Amino acid sequence: MKISQWLNTHLSLVLALFFCGVITAQASDTKHTVNEPSILTFGVVPQQAASMLARKWSPLLVALSQNANYQLQFATAPDIPTFEKRLAKGEYDIAYMNPYHFTVFNESPGYLALVKEKGKKLKGIIVVKKSAKAQSLSDLDGQLLAFPAPAAFAASVLPRANLKIKGINNQIKYVGSHDSVYLAVAQGLVAGGGGVKRTFKTMDKEVTKQLRVLWETPGYTPHAVAIHPRVPMEVRGELVRNFSQFSSTQEGTLLLEGLGFRPFEAAKSSDWNDVRALGLGDFPKPLETNDE
**pLDDT tens-digit series, residues 77-96:** 998 889 999 999 999 999 99
Residue 232, helix vs strand vs coil? coil
Phi and psi at 56, nearest 5°, equal: -80, -40
- Asked whether residue 17 carries a pLDDT value surpassing 60, the answer given is no
* 170 against 162, higher pLDDT: 170
DSSP single-letter state for residue 122: B
**Per-residue pLDDT, 282:** 66
Q: Do domains 38-121+221-282 and 124-216 have the same CATH topology?
A: yes
Neighbours of 152 (CB within 10 A): 31
**Per-residue pLDDT, 164:** 85
CATH code, residues 124-216: 3.40.190.10
**Per-residue pLDDT, 33:** 41
Query: CA 134, CA 141: separation in Å to the nearest integer?
Result: 10
- Asked whether residue 8 carries a pLDDT value surpassing 90, the answer given is no
Q: Which residues pair with 129 in a beta bridge?
A: 211
Residue 59, helix vs strand vs coil? helix
**Per-residue pLDDT, 22:** 36
Residue type, 269: S
**pLDDT tens-digit series, residues 124-147:** 999 999 999 999 999 999 999 999
Cβ(45)–Cβ(13) under 8 Å?
A: no
Percentage of the residues of the chain whose pLDDT score is greater than 90? 70
- Asked whether residue 29 carries a pLDDT value surpassing 90, the answer given is no
Q: Is the dihedral of CA 2, 4, 9, 10 positive or negative?
A: positive
Domain ranges within the chain, ordered by starting residue: 1-33, 38-121+221-282, 124-216
Query: CA 30, CA 249: separation in Å to the nearest integer?
Result: 35
**Per-residue pLDDT, 54:** 96
Cis before 286 (ω within 30): no
- Asked whether residue 32 carries a pLDDT value surpassing 60, the answer given is no
- Asked whether residue 66 carries a pLDDT value surpassing 90, the answer given is yes
Query: CA 108, CA 286: separation in Å to the nearest integer?
Result: 12
- Asked whether residue 25 carries a pLDDT value surpassing 70, the answer given is no
- Asked whether residue 158 carries a pLDDT value surpassing 60, the answer given is yes
Cβ(261)–Cβ(116) under 8 Å?
A: no
Query: CA 73, CA 223: separation in Å to the nearest integer?
Result: 19
- Asked whether residue 223 carries a pLDDT value surpassing 80, the answer given is yes
* 46 against 10, higher pLDDT: 46
The mean predicted confidence, pLDDT, of the chain is 86
Cβ(266)–Cβ(244) under 8 Å?
A: yes
Q: Which residues pair with 43 in a beta bridge?
A: 75, 95
Residues 6+ positions from 94 with CB-CB distance below 8 Å: 40, 41, 42, 43, 72, 114, 225, 226, 227, 228, 231, 239
**Per-residue pLDDT, 26:** 39
Question: How far does CA 112 lie from the centroid of its chain?
Answer: 13
CA-closest candidate to residue 98, choices 199, 237, 243, 216? 199
Cβ(170)–Cβ(142) under 8 Å?
A: yes
- Asked whether residue 289 carries a pLDDT value surpassing 70, the answer given is no
**Per-residue pLDDT, 287:** 64
* 219 against 27, higher pLDDT: 219
Residue type, 190: V
Query: CA 4, CA 145: separation in Å to the nearest integer?
Result: 96
> Which stretches within 114-166 are classed as H helix?
158-165
Between 21-30, 55-64, 171-180, 231-240, the lowest mean confidence (pLDDT) is in 21-30
Percentage of the residues of the chain whose pLDDT score is greater than 70? 84
The CATH class of the 38-121+221-282 domain is alpha beta
**pLDDT tens-digit series, residues 194-207:** 999 989 998 999 99
Cβ(287)–Cβ(84) under 8 Å?
A: yes
* 260 against 283, higher pLDDT: 260
- Asked whether residue 71 carries a pLDDT value surpassing 80, the answer given is yes
